[in-house]
Amino acid sequence: MRIAIRAGRFFDGTAAAPRDNVTLVVDGDRIAAIAAGDAPADVERTYEAACVVPGLINCHVHLEVNGAPNTQTFFLVRTPTERTLDVALNARLSLEAGVTTVRDLGGAEPSAIVLRDAIARGEHPGPTIVPAGRALCMTGGHGAFISRETDGPWDARKGVREQHKIGAGCIKLIATGGVLTKGAVPGQDQLSEEEMRAAVLEAKTHGMRVAAHAIGTNGIKNALRAGVNSIEHGHLLDDEAIALFKERGAYLVPTLAAVHCIFENISSGAQPDYVVRKATELFHLCGENVRKAFRAGVRIAGGSDAGTPYNPHENYAYEVELMSTVLGMTPQQALTAATATAAELLGVESGVLAEGRPADLLLLNYDLTGNVRAVRDPRVVIKAGRVAHERV
Ligand SMILES: [Zn+2]
């Protein structure tokens, strides 16, 4: 199938200046040409849009959860079968909202791995999935209710080998406590630097990249020294951590929506007290700290921690908005964090619109310049050259 898309304004996902009045030709699942002027005559259909951008990449999701106010209880009462259906539903909702690639950073079951393959075979609608399988945490650590408990460097290697065996595409480590686990303290170290270094070395031998959940200052630095590719959350980072990010070339995935969605829904009364207390503390610190990292030149990749309380998968546009309003990114910079930079972190080919690249792209009703909300509810979502969703 060969289609043309005439774009009033075109962003390729990178920091390059947007171009006006260009036509993209999509042939099969790839972009065949991007050029000024009209659509060629040999296409089956021509679309027109005020603005065209790459499909969004969400570097931090949990497809098994859907924004329920109490995550830990959700995993107790929801059966694995129900959660398998949730994974499929959340994948479809992500795609319809313009998210064409997600990195699933941990679930109780390998459903996201199985769904990745079903989507790749064309049997189910959804984004490209880069799944971590089960996260590795210390015994009794943050997320232990869904993770693979791991103690000691050799066990960390075994944990990585197990995820590789079941088909994981990346590895998730828990370096500090977190918000959604009862009793876990976000500032506290969990997996040790030694354990994480062993996991990173093992992951490398399988060609897998490593993400570390790290909120506490010291745990962030432990994970960076251990060689992880990205720090997830990173809310209590300091100047020394910023220097380490830059020295190691690591990415920061700030997941601002996770904290904001909890804080903005305290009045529901449905969230556990410990969640509200910890998120409120982080809400007052994370904006300033992450902004400092961004200004210092740390590479920021978009990820929303979708699935956490009141933070559904179809709301990734909110994270893009927060990167702009809270971190002071221009709308284009926020788009780049959620496309080209996210793709670099994940090691996927999408995220940049150029000849020969995958045709994962969004047709927007409004120009993104000066209006970061333009990425919300795209009019047409195209994934691998096919219309995945069209709003009428
Ligand atoms: Zn998460």
106 CA to centre of ligand 1 in angstroms: 7
pLDDT digits (tens, 9 = 90+) for 129-187: 999 999 999 999 999 999 999 999 999 999 999 999 999 999 999 999 999 999 998 99
pLDDT digits (tens, 9 = 90+) for 121-138: 999 999 999 999 999 999
54 CA to centre of ligand 1 in angstroms: 24
Q: pLDDT grade, residue 119 (50/70/90)? A: very high
pLDDT tops 90 at residue 38: no
78 CA to centre of ligand 1 in angstroms: 18
53 CA to centre of ligand 1 in angstroms: 26
302 CA to centre of ligand 1 in angstroms: 13
String of b and e for 42-69 (b: at least 16 CB within 10 Å)? ebeeebebebbbbbbbbbbbbbbbbbbb
Contact 57, 338 (CB under 8 A): yes
271 CA to centre of ligand 1 in angstroms: 17
How is residue 364 written in tokens? 């927007």
Q: Residue 389: enclosing H or E segment and its boundaries? A: strand 386-390
76 CA to centre of ligand 1 in angstroms: 18
Neighbours of ion ligand 1 (CB under 5 A): 305
62 CA to centre of ligand 1 in angstroms: 6
pLDDT tops 90 at residue 40: no
Helix (H, G, I), strand (E, B) or coil at 219: helix
23 CA to centre of ligand 1 in angstroms: 38
179 CA to centre of ligand 1 in angstroms: 10
pTM of the model: 0.98
178 CA to centre of ligand 1 in angstroms: 9
Sign of CA dihedral 225, 229, 234, 239: positive
243 CA to centre of ligand 1 in angstroms: 24
pLDDT digits (tens, 9 = 90+) for 219-251: 999 999 999 999 999 999 999 999 999 999 999
Helix (H, G, I), strand (E, B) or coil at 269: coil
